[in-house]
Amino acid sequence: MRIMFVYWAFEDQGSGLLINGYTRAAQALGHEVVVYGRPVPNIPLNYSMDVDSADALVYIFEWTTDLLNGDNLDFARLSKISRRRTVVIDGDGNYNDLISADGDYNHRDEQARDRWVAICDGLSDKICQPSPHPRCDNVLTFLFYCYDPASELPLDVDNKDYGLLYVGNSKFRWSAMSQVLAAIAPVRRRLGRVGIVGHGWDKLPAWAEPMRMQAAYHTDPALLRRLDVDLLPPVRFNDVVCTMNRALLSPVLTRPTFNQLKFVTPRYFETPAAGSIPLFLIDAGHLQEIYGPAALELALPPENAADKIQDVLDRPEHYVTVTENIRRHLSRCHSHEMRLRELVRIIER
Amino acid sequence: MNILFVSKVSASARSVFAISKYIEVGRARGHQVAVFGEQTSEPPLFPYTLDAKAFDFAIFVVYEPWDFPDMPYLAQLLDNVPKERRVIVDCCGRYNDTVRVEHDFNHLEKMDRHQGWEWVEGFDAVSNTILQPSFKPLRGNVRSFLWHAFDPASVAKPYGSAQEAVHAWGNGHGTGKRYGMTYLGHNWQRWTQLRPLLEGLEPLSSELGPIALAGADWEKRPEWAAQLGIEGVDVDPGLLARLGVETRPPLPFQEMIGFLSDGKLSPVVHRPLFNSLGLMTNRAFATFSADTIPLLMIPEELIESVYGPAARLLRVGPDFTEDVARILRDPMPYWSAVLDTRRHLAEHHTFQHRLQQLEQILEGAA
């Protein structure tokens, strides 16, 4: 089956790495995954404009339903694929009623929500969300984001550049990052270098103001300076895993609404592949459901969080074993191949 | 019959006048006619609807990619109106292989990022019935449908005779007019033709009077054109200044005939691409409703086939100075040609005629 993804890809954020994983998995399984559009030099994906050759269309809607470098003529062309063979993946939980949590929200207002839902419904009857527990009855579970054992780096915890490094943008993540910072403060000196890679940690990203998203990128640069946190520029999606690999600890943060909706994200699966120990700030039930029970040991507790960091520093080998267990679980339950087979089933429903 | 027009309506561009007339004429013939979209209080005040299911046919009037509705409306429309009940009026010849004439194209990838085959595929995805406002569509599966038409009711001054027209025009010399020449249209692929016309009028400026151009980008070549290397919006501000040409912003379609009527003369100029493909425009018909002498600058064969034999006299160029001087010296035969042409258009090219043709096409398509 030739599956065409329709996706607004970025060089340094989003699901580019994941999509390339799907492309490889598809080749291994005798399918093909392409991304609708003309090649974008700095975003290396398997592009195609040949709608006629596609057997199915998968819209990946995260922050927008618009097309990258596309317009209504593209939507007209894409309409050649019947809605029966079209799937929408609602990656940010926008196909829901209005929800908000800790300053995070899925829509500004009902009008935006209605439009989003109408667009998804207009394209397909198969709306999927990357959550084991979608809220809407008509939404299917399809976790979409997945684990790629081929990208695993050795879990060698010695000689790391950083004690802790987070790779990701600040969008709605300051509250989770504050918990990480509070946890490391008591052990700050022992931890060594601490860094954050991504947009919006020291200043607003360029798009925040025109998109009226200043609040989403709220941070406390003074606190980051006080804790001597290195603020590093974003990296290309192909370099995410090896960047995380530079640290002993890599926090897995999520947006408050994603936590509420029990969503998974690309970083959920990329982080354990880095040769780094993941540190989870995720709802405990959700954590166990995705990563298996072993992962609970790597949850940053709300109380005495510094003790957990201290323990990792004291017993890194133990947590390497925990991480290996997590990797095995993810390889078994959340591989690209499994996801792709599931996607094909959804398409053929 | 319930007919739904699908197009991005702008008060001052593209097919707004035609759509307004199809609504009017359609209703008079007992049809329900509306434009697809959310009802707006902004002019033009057309009847809009999103209830596509209530309509028998959807007529897409396409110039630009955005003439296809935004999502989710496009998806809803395609879901609710079966393909055999959708028709596309291809106003710019997009549904062709790529055609280049001078620096005019039917596919301008630099501007909208679409290659020619994407247009063809897009149209094929939406409909099996493609119409072009040309007598001679290039592709075998495209039907001729001129779309634009003449509205006798819009004629600013329906003279009974050429003498009356000449007298009203300005005591025989057009001196009652505010302008010697008016042109309404955006500066898009017109300059290569307007330039020699303006240069030809320069020796006649005192006799002719001032010239006014209304539309976008007549003051200067816009920045975006320079950045993209697009030559179709060329203009020579020095020449316009020397001739004292007044430039005005685009006008809403309701003011079109009034503005054209402010000039003794008004050119009918088509893009080089349109001349090559024989595509008709709204202005080709509306100029004959204005109280002005149209200066026809479109291909000779098109003039005769659309306007009838009398209109041949109204063709000007390449010696614009001489041609226009002759009109100014003795406007009577030219006004006579205008009135004969109006009669011809009223007999063959009204919106009533078009709607009847469209009804036949729609019935055949379904």
Q: How far apart are alpha carbons B70 and A71 in whole angstroms?
A: 8
Long-range contact pairs involving B234-243 (C-beta distance under 8 Å, separation at least 24)? B234/B191, B234/B192, B235/B187, B235/B191, B236/B191, B236/B195, B239/B195, B239/B198, B239/B199, B240/B198, B240/B213, B242/B202, B243/B198, B243/B201, B243/B202, B243/B205, B243/B211
Question: Are the beta carbons of B209 and B177 closer than 8 angstroms?
Answer: yes
- Residues in A closer than 8 angstroms to B67, CB to CB, are 72
Q: Is the pLDDT of residue A312 over 60?
A: yes
- Residues in B closer than 8 angstroms to A123, CB to CB, are 71-72, 75
Residue A10: its pLDDT value, please? 82
Q: Is A51 on the interface with B (CB under 8 A)?
A: yes
Question: Are the beta carbons of B57 and B2 closer than 8 angstroms?
Answer: yes
In this structure, what token pair is assigned to residue A257? 């609404």
Q: How far apart are alpha carbons A1 and A9 in whole angstroms?
A: 22
Residue A11: its pLDDT value, please? 78
Q: Is the pLDDT of residue A254 over 70?
A: yes
| Domains of chain A: residue spans and CATH | 2-144+336-348 (3.40.50), 149-333 (3.40.50.2000)
Q: What 8-state DSSP symbol labels residue B40?
A: -
Q: What is the mean pLDDT of residues B334-363?
A: 97
* One-character DSSP codes across B158-207: --SSHHHHHHHHHTTTTTTSSEEEEEES-SSS-HHHHHHHHHHHGGGHHH
**Nearest residue of chain B to residue A83 (CA atoms):** B79
- Across A287-322, b (16+ Cβ under 10 Å) vs e yields bebbbbebbebbbbeeeebbebbbebbeebeebbeb
What are the C-alpha distances in Å from A58 to residues A28, A86, A126, B198, B271?
19, 6, 10, 55, 40
In this complex, do A73 and B78 lie within 8 Å of one another by their Cβ atoms?
no
Q: Is A108 on the interface with B (CB under 8 A)?
A: no
| B318 CB-near residues (< 8 Å, 6+ apart) | B196
- Residues in B closer than 8 angstroms to A51, CB to CB, are 121, 125
Q: What is the mean pLDDT of residues B280-291?
A: 97
Q: Is the pLDDT of residue B145 over 80?
A: yes
Q: What 8-state DSSP symbol labels residue B350?
A: B
Beta bridge partners of A153: none
| A292 CB-near residues (< 8 Å, 6+ apart) | A325, A326, A329, A333
Percent of chain A scoring above 70 in pLDDT: 100
Q: Is A181 on the interface with B (CB under 8 A)?
A: no
Percent of chain B scoring above 90 in pLDDT: 89
Residue A12: its pLDDT value, please? 73
The predicted-structure confidence for B268-279, as pLDDT tens digits, reads as follows 999 999 999 999
**Amino acid of residue B181:** M
What are the C-alpha distances in Å from A247 to residues A60, A271, A298, B87?
31, 11, 15, 60
Question: In what helix (H) or strand (E) does residue A56 lie, and over which residues does it extend?
Answer: strand A56-61
User: How close are the terminal C-alpha atoms of chain A, in Å?
Assistant: 14
Q: What is the mean pLDDT of residues B303-314?
A: 97
Q: What 8-state DSSP symbol labels residue B69?
A: P
Taking Cα atoms as reference points, which of A280, A333, A322, A347 lies closest to residue A145?
A: A333
Residue B192: its pLDDT value, please? 93
Taking Cα atoms as reference points, which of A148, A336, A155, A170 lies closest to residue A244?
A: A155
Q: What is the mean pLDDT of residues A218-241?
A: 95
Q: Is A76 on the interface with B (CB under 8 A)?
A: yes
User: Model pTM?
Assistant: 0.89
Taking Cα atoms as reference points, which of B277, B305, B300 lies closest to residue B314?
A: B300
Give the one of A52, A69, A119 whose C-beta lies nearest to B71's C-beta.
A119
Q: What is the mean pLDDT of residues B39-50?
A: 89
Residue B155: its pLDDT value, please? 97
In this complex, do B121 and A122 lie within 8 Å of one another by their Cβ atoms?
no
Q: What is the mean pLDDT of residues A111-134?
A: 97
- Residues in A closer than 8 angstroms to B123, CB to CB, are 76
| Domains of chain B: residue spans and CATH | 2-149+350-365 (3.40.50), 152-348 (3.40.50.2000)
Q: Is A111 on the interface with B (CB under 8 A)?
A: no
Residue B175: its pLDDT value, please? 61
The predicted-structure confidence for B205-236, as pLDDT tens digits, reads as follows 999 999 999 999 999 999 999 899 888 899 99
Residue A78: its pLDDT value, please? 96
Length of chain A: 349
In this complex, do A123 and B75 lie within 8 Å of one another by their Cβ atoms?
yes
Give the one of A49, A72, A80 whose C-beta lies nearest to B74's C-beta.
A72
Residue A42: its pLDDT value, please? 86
Question: β-pairing, A247-252 with A162-167?
Answer: parallel
- Residues in A closer than 8 angstroms to B122, CB to CB, are 73-74, 76-77
Residue B13: its pLDDT value, please? 83
Q: Is the pLDDT of residue B170 over 80?
A: no
**Nearest residue of chain A to residue B69 (CA atoms):** A72
**Nearest residue of chain B to residue A52 (CA atoms):** B121
Q: How far apart are alpha carbons B355 and B154 in whole angstroms?
A: 17
Across all residues in chain B, what is the average pLDDT? 94
Q: What is the mean pLDDT of residues B28-56?
A: 93
CA distance, residue A184 to nearest chain B CA (Å): 47
Question: In what helix (H) or strand (E) does residue B22 lie, and over which residues does it extend?
Answer: helix B16-28
ipTM exceeding the 0.85 mark:
yes
Q: Is the pLDDT of residue A329 over 70?
A: yes
Q: What angle do CA A54, A60, A62 make, to 5 degrees?
A: 165
- Residues in A closer than 8 angstroms to B72, CB to CB, are 115, 118-119, 121-123
In this structure, what token pair is assigned to residue A102? 């800790």
User: How close are the terminal C-alpha atoms of chain B, in Å?
Assistant: 12
Question: Are the beta carbons of A122 and B75 closer than 8 angstroms?
Answer: yes
What are the C-alpha distances in Å from B229 to residues A190, B116, B225, B226?
59, 19, 6, 5
- What is the four-CA torsion angle of A44, A48, A54, A60, rounded to 10 degrees? 50
Question: Are the beta carbons of B116 and B96 closer than 8 angstroms?
Answer: yes
Residues in chain B whose Cβ is within 8 Å of chain A: 65-76, 78-79, 112-114, 118-119, 121-123, 125-126
The SS3 of residue B15 is coil
Confidence label for B245 from pLDDT (cuts 50, 70 and 90): very high
Q: Is the pLDDT of residue B176 over 80?
A: no
Question: β-pairing, B104-105 with B100-101?
Answer: antiparallel
In this structure, what token pair is assigned to residue A157? 């915890």
In this structure, what token pair is assigned to residue A81? 């694929």
Q: Is the pLDDT of residue B53 over 90?
A: yes
Q: How far apart are alpha carbons B49 and B54 in whole angstroms?
A: 9
Confidence label for A54 from pLDDT (cuts 50, 70 and 90): very high
- Residues in B closer than 8 angstroms to A73, CB to CB, are 65, 68, 112, 114, 118-119, 122
Taking Cα atoms as reference points, which of B75, B74, B116, B113 lies closest to residue B92?
A: B116
Q: Is the pLDDT of residue B172 over 70?
A: no
CA distance, residue B112 to nearest chain A CA (Å): 9
Give the one of B71, B79, B118 whose C-beta lies nearest to A73's C-beta.
B118
Q: Is A75 on the interface with B (CB under 8 A)?
A: yes
Confidence label for B173 from pLDDT (cuts 50, 70 and 90): low
A217-221, B37-41, B261-265, range with the lowest pLDDT: B37-41
Alpha carbon B134 to its chain centroid, in Å, reads: 12
User: What radius of gyration, in Å, describes the C-alpha atoms of chain A?
Assistant: 20
Q: How far apart are alpha carbons B184 and B215 in whole angstroms?
A: 6
* Residue for token pair 């035969």: B333
**Amino acid of residue A117:** V
CA distance, residue A122 to nearest chain B CA (Å): 5
Confidence label for B42 from pLDDT (cuts 50, 70 and 90): confident
| A100 CB-near residues (< 8 Å, 6+ apart) | A106, A257
**Amino acid of residue A146:** C
In this complex, do A122 and B70 lie within 8 Å of one another by their Cβ atoms?
no
Q: Is A135 on the interface with B (CB under 8 A)?
A: no
**Nearest residue of chain A to residue B62 (CA atoms):** A73
- Testing the interface with B: which of A51, A72, A90, A95 to mutate, by most B Cβ within 10 A? A72
Question: Are the beta carbons of B196 and B267 closer than 8 angstroms?
Answer: no
φ/ψ (deg, to 5) at A148: -120, 100
Confidence label for B264 from pLDDT (cuts 50, 70 and 90): very high
